[in-house]
Amino acid sequence: MVTDFPFLLQSMAWPLVLLIAWFLGERLHETWQVPRVSSYVAVGLLGSLVNLPGLTDAVPGLPFLANVALSLVLFELGYRINLRWFRHNPWVMALGLVESALTFAAVYLASGWFDLATDTRLIFASLSVSASPAGIVRVANDLRSAGQVTERVLHLCAINCLVSVLAFNLVVGYWHLSTSGDLVLAAFGSVHVLVTSVAVGALLGVAAPWLLRAQRVQARDVTVVFALAVVLLTTMAYGLKLSPLLAALTFGIVARERRVHLTNAQRGFGTAGDLLTVFLFVYIASLLNWADVWTGMLLGLALIVVRTATKVGCSVAAARLSGSTERKGLLTGLALTPMSAFAILLLEQSRLYGFEPAAHVLSSMAAMMLVLELFGPVVTQRALLAAHETHVTKE
């Protein structure tokens, strides 16, 4: 029997690349303290550069798997959100909302310096509001970071993601209205998605804890139950054309309020979560086209400067009002630098749902995505280390 070598190479692509990404991630983290997620992104970018068969080709099921991976992270982020903190310190909530609005406005105005359509500028602005929960949560978990700066970064990241999804879906609705003139379709593409996604996530956030108490599940099995619930939630979101990312974040917030406890050992969903994290960052990096990266480098760098300056400026300006210091405000703003994973999957999901400008926007933002996902985790890591909130010991 003659071996089909191209088919064999294509079949081996993903397992081989994931193994290389994991190996380099561990080695570079141990030797030079490079964040693991940055190494994963670098491997994905190299795979995209050489056009490795089976990696950059469209493989059925990969977008769904990537959404499951990010949904697990968003559930964990939502679970770490303490709504009572917002009631005791409303300035944190105000900071998140004001900073999100100013970031949207600043990026929209800055993108006007370039020859871009209004729809494209609105999408750029809505995506730039978000921070990357996958990058931030993974770096914080690797450093075992805990403290005022860490908690503010996580809470502001959650607010940024919520506002970004809201703004992005409103832009999608506006696009449907401007292209088809169908107000019903526009409302279905924005308001329906937002409200139903939150409702489904909240419903599961109430039902899952009730089932856990009814069955008296042991502590070590809680993680398995929640992981399966996130997979179910993602599947439902795909079937109903909802936002799995928004639903998963809502699920985590409601589950936290229902007093279901996850132990520290269960953070990150264990080995399965680690594997999905490797896949997620390799996958999103492989979606970027190097030709688009070089073409849009000037635009990307300009928007990065504007976005970073806005987030840092707002955090520093509101530091004293929210019970912090200017130094911690500076570190908080810098730690919100990563963006790409959340934004890329949001674009990919909208493309699958029929949002035609998504592919063009991804190519236009390729440079910005690359820089923020490759170097953003490094900035987050250094900011948390400078805040002296890490608890990493040599084994």
Please give the residue that has the higher pLDDT: either 25 or 268.
25
Query: For the ranges 40-54, 166-180, 183-197, 269-283, which has the lowest average pLDDT?
Result: 183-197
Mean pLDDT of the chain: 88
Inter-residue contact 224 to 214 (CB < 8 Å): no
Domain that holds residue 194: 59-386
How many domains does one find in the chain?
A: 1
Judge whether 49 lies within some domain: no
Judge whether 395 lies within some domain: no
Judge whether 219 lies within some domain: yes
pLDDT of residue 264: 47
Judge whether 391 lies within some domain: no
Q: What is the percent of the chain with per-residue pLDDT over 90, rounded to a whole number? A: 61
Distance (Å, whole) CA 266 – CA 224: 9
Locate all alpha helices (DSSP H) within the chain, ordered by sequence: 5-32, 36-49, 62-79, 83-88, 90-111, 118-128, 133-143, 148-180, 183-187, 193-215, 219-240, 244-257, 270-286, 290-295, 297-317, 326-335, 340-352, 357-364, 366-386
State which amino acid sits at residue 292: D
Indicate if the pLDDT at residue 395 is higher than 60.
no
Average of pLDDT values for 367-388?
95
Indicate if the pLDDT at residue 155 is higher than 80.
yes
Structure tokens at 339: 């963006």
Structure tokens at 226: 């929640």
Distance (Å, whole) CA 142 – CA 29: 10
Q: pLDDT per residue over 290-307, tens digit each?
A: 889 999 999 999 999 999
Q: pLDDT per residue over 241-273, tens digit each?
A: 899 999 999 999 998 887 666 654 466 788 889
Judge whether 251 lies within some domain: yes
pLDDT of residue 105: 98
Q: pLDDT per residue over 93-129, tens digit each?
A: 999 999 999 999 999 999 999 989 999 999 999 999 9
Q: Which residue has the tokens 């379709």?
A: 185
Average of pLDDT values for 380-384?
96
Distance (Å, whole) CA 155 – CA 99: 13
Q: pLDDT per residue over 324-372, tens digit each?
A: 999 999 999 999 999 988 999 999 888 887 788 898 999 999 999 999 9
> What is the DSSP code (8-state) at residue 235?
H
Judge whether 368 lies within some domain: yes
Inter-residue contact 296 to 169 (CB < 8 Å): no
Indicate if the pLDDT at residue 2 is higher than 50.
no
Domain harbouring 185, CATH code: 1.20.1530.20
C-alpha distances (whole Å) from 149 to each of 85, 234, 236, 262 are 14, 31, 35, 22
Average of pLDDT values for 10-22?
86
Structure tokens at 229: 């619930």
The end-to-end CA distance of the chain, in Å, is: 50
Q: Which residue has the tokens 């939150």?
A: 198
Indicate if the pLDDT at residue 151 is higher than 50.
yes
Judge whether 54 lies within some domain: no
Please give the residue that has the higher pLDDT: either 206 or 332.
332
Judge whether 17 lies within some domain: no
> What is the DSSP code (8-state) at residue 189?
I
pLDDT of residue 353: 79
Distance (Å, whole) CA 229 – CA 304: 36
Structure tokens at 349: 């999901």
